[in-house]
Structure 1
Amino acid sequence: MNTTTQKMVEQIIESIVQITNPYGSGSGFLIDGLIITNSHVVSGLKEVLISTKTLPKTIGIVIYDDPAYDLAFIHSPIAIHQKNPLVLSDKPVQDGDGVIAIGHPYGLNYSTTEGIVSKASRLQGEVEYIQFDAAINPGNSGGPLLNTSAEVVGVNTFIIQNSNNLGFALPSYTLKEALDQFNNYNSYDIIRCLSCKNLIQESTIQNDYCPKCGTKLDVAKRRREGYKPSGVVALVEKILYSLHINVTLSRRSQRSWRFEVQSTRIDINYYDNGIIIADSALCRIPQENIEELYNFLLYENSKLERLQFSINENTVYLSYIVVDSSLNEIYGTWALRKLLDKAPHYQKLLIKLFKVLEPKFDEFE
């Protein structure tokens, strides 16, 4: 990345949003106080998790869902600070123009790639897209495509799989048209019918059919039903609720949760092999006092019930491991409560006794 691009990205990075829900993650960006993203990024849900450089993970409300143009608008209940707000370009791009894509591919936050416009207008079905060659991947969806003046020229929407950098973005003029239509409606909870393309107030929909043309509205059904965990996943979340953990804010996927307890971070993952691991990375081993540290951990392991210390590479973990068929509400709640109590205690103790190093985490992970 050249110096000019790097400075430009630093100026507008506060406007780039990370969006997650139980089904996946994607990107978004702020325009006039609204978070813009793709419809497929919000997965038909009314609530998603949003975060930025200045906004910690927060529940955002999907107020507009448009599967026809693969657009969605999200309202943040907390104002998001922007020193240099993004604006939509009022000039259409031309073949060969330089463009920059910003987003969170594969969870790699604030990744930036450069390229050129391969084709300014490429028709896919009924919708025109900008074709460009800046590398984008799953997780980039919903992020902005910028010109060299840091103006938004498109919304990164999809790629052609197994191709060499074939990316497609919805043009800014289509986004502006959708924004104008939505703002003129002067209401929240709007969806666009995939068939007749009319904007529909959600409260006027009966039995998930479009009141204008009678087409079944799948997005209306998904928004009405919301996300409903089942089986072991539902049991894990029931236990977390009982421990006063905000489950919605903790979800990273359908089988993964993360939250903070004092100075420690707790991760819970339910793997395909049926193993559930709840653990906390307490510290990194020091270069001195290693034998004393190991002896201490072994001794504590002999006393702990249901919890255990382990070392992966150079990081010390305190963990609760259980097979899904053995998990029940009583013992699961007891063990997780113990982990939540013991993790901060042991982290402080290890730092004091052995001068261990604090664990390293991605700043925006």
Structure 2
Amino acid sequence: MNTQIILDTYVDNIIQIMTPYGSGTGFIIGDLIITNSHVVGGLKKVVISSKQIKRVIAQVIYDDPDYDLAFIDSRYEVIKNPLKLSTNLVKNGDTVIAIGHPYGLNYTSTEGIVSKSSRLYEDLEYIQIDAAINPGNSGGPLLNIYGEVIGVNTFIIQNANNLGFALPYFYVQETLENFKKLDARNIIKCPSCKNLIKEQEIKNDYCPQCGTKLEVAKQRRKGYIPTGATKLMEEILDSLGVNVTLSRRSQASWRVDQGSARVEINYYENGIIIGDSKLCRIPQENIEKIYDYLLSENEKLSYLQFSINENSIYLSYLIVDSSLTFDEGKIAFDRLFKLSDKYDEILINEFKAIKLKRDEEDE
């Protein structure tokens, strides 16, 4: 099969995983989602989405920093063409396909070859490939020409041209078998003694078998805790009925959909917080009428303001973090959410503005 056929056949198995620390890829094998440990970032809960799964919160039930593997539990419909782990020996020169979400570009597939089928790195074997993989590809499947999973795309060499490494399928198979033997959830693998430890048996974040400090246990116990203006922003969003976990795109970025409008909120390093709703595009006709309307509305608005960037119309709220208060922020963002949808409809229906198109996977 060629690359496009493989992607079309198995795309329903590919998962996007989002945490406050970044995003990555996962894939379904049996009743679990497989990904890298570093993708889930030591969290018990992550946000996932796919062609079949709308953005939902899912549980990380196994974390293995030794192999850099993690398993996520989630409910999904039966997949027509499920992925399977390969049982075939990987050879130098084999054609491979990497699928993932590099830089947030959903369902990207790249083709390459196996540069070295067994490259030893820190006591583990990896498949070295020249297929282009980038941040966001981590945790995604590496497939052979038959659509079988031969590895998990795990890391790249920085500033090197197409030098990627995938954890081989046999490590994944071994881990799945050991995990399922326990018939339990919330398991951590100790990177020192290699034992699988039930999380409830861990005290003070130390392995009960060998006494090694388990950093992943500490991370899972603490979870993600926002601070400062980020904490205040999330308190404001929560008070407005926004599911903060689902809306969070990073530690300082949130997305809220209201009707046909979408509000992007970003907290920048210079202390500026901007809530932007990109509404619609200006039409080719009656442009003067739209301009007059926007200018007249700007005179009436408080907290918010219309602007035009290139040919897109924005409704925005801007504030410095030191000036943000809970009460004022709540008023401003409540208006931004409600008026974004209202104005989008007005501009489209009354002024024939052009409705925005979105990537279907970004809904």
Q: Return the offset for 1:223.
A: 0.2
Q: Return the offset for 1:81.
A: 4.4
Q: Please give the root-mean-square deviation of Cα atoms over the aligned residues, in Å.
A: 0.9
Q: State the partner residue of 1:17.
A: 15
Of 216, 219, 237, 2:216 maps to: 219
Of 63, 80, 91, 1:65 maps to: 63
Q: Which amino acid counterpart does residue 302 of structure 2 have in structure 1?
A: E
Tell me, yes or no, if structure 1 residue 292 matches structure 2 residue 292.
Answer: no
- Distance, in Å, in 1 between the alignment partners of 2:48 and 2:166 is 21
Q: State the partner residue of 2:33.
A: 35
Q: Return the offset for 1:279.
A: 1.7
- Distance, in Å, in 2 between the alignment partners of 1:80 and 1:331 is 43
Runs of 5+ in structure 2 lacking a partner? none
Q: Return the offset for 1:126.
A: 1.3
Q: Is the 8 A contact 1:14 1:81 kept in 2?
A: no
Secondary structure of the residue aligned to 1:265 is strand
Q: Which amino acid counterpart does residue 33 of structure 2 have in structure 1?
A: I
Q: Which amino acid counterpart does residue 40 of structure 1 have in structure 2?
A: H
- Distance, in Å, in 2 between the alignment partners of 1:25 and 1:5 is 24
Of 231, 235, 252, 1:238 maps to: 235
> 1:168-208: CA deviations, max 9, x gaps?
00000110000000000100000100101110000000000
Q: Is the 8 A contact 2:3 2:109 kept in 1?
A: no
Of 72, 75, 83, 1:74 maps to: 72
- Distance, in Å, in 1 between the alignment partners of 2:284 and 2:305 is 23
Query: How many residues are aligned here?
Result: 362
Tell me, yes or no, if structure 1 residue 307 matches structure 2 residue 304.
Answer: yes
- Distance, in Å, in 1 between the alignment partners of 2:77 and 2:229 is 36
Q: State the partner residue of 1:123.
A: 120
Tell me, yes or no, if structure 1 residue 149 matches structure 2 residue 152.
Answer: no
Secondary structure of the residue aligned to 2:360 is coil
- Distance, in Å, in 1 between the alignment partners of 2:80 and 2:313 is 40
> 1:10-63: CA deviations, max 9, x gaps?
010000000010001100100002100000000000001100011111101000
TM-score (norm 1): 0.98
Of 84, 91, 94, 1:94 maps to: 91
Of 44, 59, 66, 2:42 maps to: 44
Identity of aligned residues (%): 61
Q: Is the 8 A contact 2:253 2:266 kept in 1?
A: yes
TM-score (norm 2): 0.98
> 1:304-344: CA deviations, max 9, x gaps?
00100011111101111111111000110011111111111
- Distance, in Å, in 2 between the alignment partners of 1:38 and 1:83 is 25
> 1:262-306: CA deviations, max 9, x gaps?
221111111111111112111111000101100100000011001
Q: Is the 8 A contact 2:10 2:83 kept in 1?
A: yes
Q: Return the offset for 1:353.
A: 1.5
- Distance, in Å, in 2 between the alignment partners of 1:209 and 1:79 is 35
- Distance, in Å, in 2 between the alignment partners of 1:304 and 1:340 is 14
Q: Which amino acid counterpart does residue 41 of structure 1 have in structure 2?
A: V
Q: State the partner residue of 1:112.
A: 109
> 1:226-251: CA deviations, max 9, x gaps?
00000000000000010010000000
Q: State the partner residue of 1:275.
A: 272
Q: Which amino acid counterpart does residue 274 of structure 1 have in structure 2?
A: G
Q: Is the 8 A contact 1:89 1:151 kept in 2?
A: yes
Post-superposition, which runs of at least 4 consecutive aligned residues in structure 1 deviate over 4 A?
none
Q: Return the offset for 1:356.
A: 0.5
Of 329, 333, 337, 2:334 maps to: 337
Q: Which amino acid counterpart does residue 333 of structure 2 have in structure 1?
A: L
Secondary structure of the residue aligned to 1:364 is helix
Q: Is the 8 A contact 2:52 2:76 kept in 1?
A: no
- Please give the residue correspondences for 1:135-284 in structure 2 after superposition, counting only pairs within 5 Å: 135-284=132-281
Q: Is the 8 A contact 1:54 1:81 kept in 2?
A: no
Secondary structure of the residue aligned to 1:161 is coil
Q: Which amino acid counterpart does residue 185 of structure 1 have in structure 2?
A: L
